[in-house]
Amino acid sequence: MRVIDFQENVEITKRRLADLPDRVVDGDPHHETQMRFKNDDGTMLAGTWTSTPGKWIAFADRDEFCVLLTGHVKLIGDDGVEQEFRAGDSFLIPNGFRGFWHVLETTTKHFVIRDYSAG
């Protein structure tokens, strides 16, 4: 076992979020994910993600820690609470959060996810 170097072993995937039509609320966001780590059962993930502007229903059944490298986002809970984050900010989206991601400016983040739906 060794420390994961974020400059090595990158698996890049690109997708147009509109390919998941039940999720997109506004815009035509495009995502690029650079997967840096995935454990054997797929429950722990880490990498770098970039999204163009748009708004979509947040993915559930996970804890996600994020550090924004660039951009501006808003997370909007189903309860109406809005929180904005910009480059340099970090935050944790806890398992059970229900609401929306709204990318206001193209955003890049590092992330670590504990996925409860995998495994």
Q: What is the pLDDT along the chain (119 residues), one digit of tens a residue?
A: 678 787 777 889 999 988 887 889 999 999 999 999 999 999 999 999 999 999 999 988 999 999 999 999 999 999 999 999 999 999 999 999 999 999 999 999 999 999 998 86
**Domains in the chain, number:** 1
Tokens at 6, concatenated: 């974020």
pTM: 0.91
The three-class DSSP label of residue 105 is strand
Within-domain flag for 45: yes
Please indicate, yes or no, if residue 99 is contained in any of the structural domains: yes
In a domain? residue 16: no
Classify residue 68: in a domain, yes or no: yes
Count of other CB atoms within 10 angstroms of residue 9: 10
4 within domain boundaries: no
93 belongs to a structural domain: yes
List phi, psi (to 5°) of 87.
-45, 135
Q: Which residues have CB under 8 Å from 26's CB, separation 6+?
A: 54, 55, 102
Question: Is residue 36, in this structure, part of any structural domain at all?
Answer: yes
Three-class DSSP category at 2 = coil
CATH number at residue 82: 2.60.120.10
Q: What domain range is 54 assigned to?
A: 21-115
User: What is the distance between the alpha carbons of residues 110 and 90, in angstroms, rounded to a whole number?
Assistant: 9
Kindly report the number of other CB atoms within 10 A of residue 38's CB atom: 16
Residue 13 within a domain: no
Q: Are the beta carbons of 35 and 77 closer than 8 angstroms?
A: no
Spatial distance between the Cα atoms of 51 and 70, rounded to a whole number of angstroms: 10
